[in-house]
A = this chain, B = another copy of it.
């Protein structure tokens, strides 16, 4: 099996301990998962991508749609996503100016996975709350 091609759960189970280099190792170099996490793992990127998964949207609409995000952070987040090629920015020369953001094909390819995460979050909301309660109980 060649690394940097595909990683399935079963592959992971099969990998040997000796020279595994795909993730979570102290190899000298960079870990692609670490990179993505540093990038998309911030406070807002996932929520913005998730929202744009519904379709293109303008700045102000996004600002209203994403709960709690500030104007500044929306700008910063969108710039980051644009820079990484996940989001496309299109300026319409109107008055007043309007800018539309949309997912690129790359962004869409990510959307599927984080949608899965979102589903998981909704589905297991209760389980986590319950686990927390049990934990608190065990530790006074």
Which residues from chain A sit less than 8 Å from chain B, CB to CB?
Answer: 3-9, 12-13, 15, 22-27, 31-37, 39, 41-43, 46-48, 50-51, 53-55, 64-68, 82-86, 106, 109-125, 127-128, 130-132, 134-136
Q: Which of B7, B26, B41, B109 contacts A68 (CB 8 A)?
A: B26
CB <8 Å contact, A7 and B83:
no
The 10 closest A-B pairs by CB, nearest first: A85-B131, A36-B121, A24-B51, A113-B116, A83-B135, A32-B121, A32-B125, A24-B66, A33-B121, A26-B67
- Identify which of B3, B9, B86 contacts A115 (C-beta below 8 A): B9
Main secondary structure of the interface of A (DSSP, over half): helix
Give the distance in Å from the alpha carbon of A134 to the alpha carbon of B24 in the complex. 29
The count of identical subunits is 2
Candidates B46, B112, B125; contact of A35 at CB < 8 Å: B125
Contacts of A51 in B (CB 8 A): 23-24
Chain B CB count within 10 A is highest, among A13, A48, A112, A117, for A117
Contact between B113 and A117, CB atoms less than 8 A apart: yes
